[in-house]
Amino acid sequence: MKKQSIEELQKICTQLRRDVLRMVHAVQSGHPGAPLGCAEFFVALYFDQLHHNPDFQMDGKGEDLFFLSNGHLSAGWYSVLARSGYFPVEELKTFRKLNSRLQGHPATHEHLPGIRVASGSLGQGLSVAIGTAQAKKLNGDDKLVYLLMGDGELQEGQVWEAAMYAAHYGVDNLIATVDYNGQQIDGPTTKVMDLKNLKAKWEAFGWEVIETKNGNDLKSVIEGLELAKSLTGKGKPVMNLLYTEMGYGVDFMVGTHKWHGSPPNDEQLAKALGQLEETLGDY
């Protein structure tokens, strides 16, 4: 894929946000908050960073792979997959409907290109990504494995089993990103279950840790991912703490857990879309 300018990529972010809002609005269900906050990450990854092949193969040999552990960000992932050519953009309108390949949470069962494992039950994706990264090593494949997970998700014990394991085996072809939005369903993570010093935690587990302080600034996100890539192959798994704002891009949605899993009504949708220019054409 030819590299696009920041301005062009920015347009995709805006369109992704429109897609997400229209998708969850259409079925009056789903999770808008976190995908809005991760738009820059999704676009930076799929349109700038990943060496990937939209001609989808499950084993992903010879290409970078991405796993979404926090499966409730499905609307954002489906949008970026469609917009980067994995399946027709039109298909976004089937999201969460009967007989759709775009299940509420990502699944392999319906054979949607781009998805290699189901997610939705939190805490499992890091393990899968590590296993795939190790398989890449066994296959002599020098491409990378990327993963996104939530910050609340880090409360799951399995994540730390996986963290320990990846460092022990020096799984250094892996870049894990945490959507560090400080929010989860019941409120801010500091109130629900304080994650305290995440950087120190991952470092203590033996990871190389970088912080992307402005996860809603496209240039910063790309620089963060570039830096992360430069740290691969050095014996340690790489953690990218991506500071984002849940609901970013829509003034009345930003910075609160209230939009974690609530769709906008008609009026709210209209108001939100008024803040997001239609750049690539709505599905």
Ligand X SMILES: Cc1ncc(C[n+]2csc(CCOP(=O)(O)OP(=O)(O)O)c2C)c(N)n1
Q: Does 183 bind Mg ion (CB under 5 A)?
A: yes
- Give, as one character, the DSSP assignment of residue 34: H
CA–CA separation, 193 vs 206, rounded Å? 23
59 binds, among ligand X, Mg ion, another protein, none (CB under 5 to 8 A by kind): another protein
- Per CB under 8 A, the segment of 16-24, 31-39, 125-133, 225-233 that binds another protein is 125-133
Of 114, 125, 150, 224, which one interacts with Mg ion (CB under 5 A)?
A: 150
Secondary structure of residue 173 in the 3-state scheme: coil
162 touches another protein by CB under 8 A: yes
**Choice from 165, 187, 192, 220 touching another protein (CB under 8 A):** 165
User: Which of 26, 118, 227, 280 is close enough to bind another protein by CB under 8 A?
Assistant: 118
Q: Does 139 bind another protein (CB under 8 A)?
A: yes
- Residues paired with residue 44 on neighbouring β-strands, in sequence order: none
Smallest gap, in angstroms, from Cβ of residue 90 to another protein?
26
Residue 250 CB-half CA count within 13 A: 28
Judged by CB under 6 A, the stretch of 3-11, 128-136, 145-153, 266-274 that binds ligand X is: 145-153
Q: What is the separation of C-alpha 278 from the centre of its chain, rounded to a whole number of angstroms? A: 22
| 169-183 exposure pattern, b = at least 16 Cβ within 10 A, e = fewer | eebbbbbbbbbbbbb
Cα gap 6→101, rounded to integer Å: 31
Burial (0-12, 13-18, 19+ Cβ within 10 Å), 98: exposed
Q: Work out how close the CB of 210 gets to another protein at its nearest, in angstroms, rounded to a whole number.
A: 23
Measuring CA to CA, how many Å separate 209 from each of 47, 205, 213, 231? 24, 10, 12, 9
From the list 174, 164, 97, 182, the residue with the least C-alpha distance to 130 is 174
Nearer to another protein, 59 or 226 (CB): 59
> Contact between 240 and ligand X (CB under 6 A)?
no
Q: How far is the CB of 117 from another protein (least distance, A)?
A: 5
**From 25, 31, 52, 136, residue interacting with another protein (rule: CB under 8 A):** 136
Binding site for another protein (CB under 8 A): 58-61, 65, 107-109, 116-121, 123-136, 138-139, 141, 157-158, 161-162, 164-165, 168-169
Binding site for ligand X (CB under 6 A): 33-34, 70, 72, 120-123, 150-153, 179, 181, 183-185, 246, 260
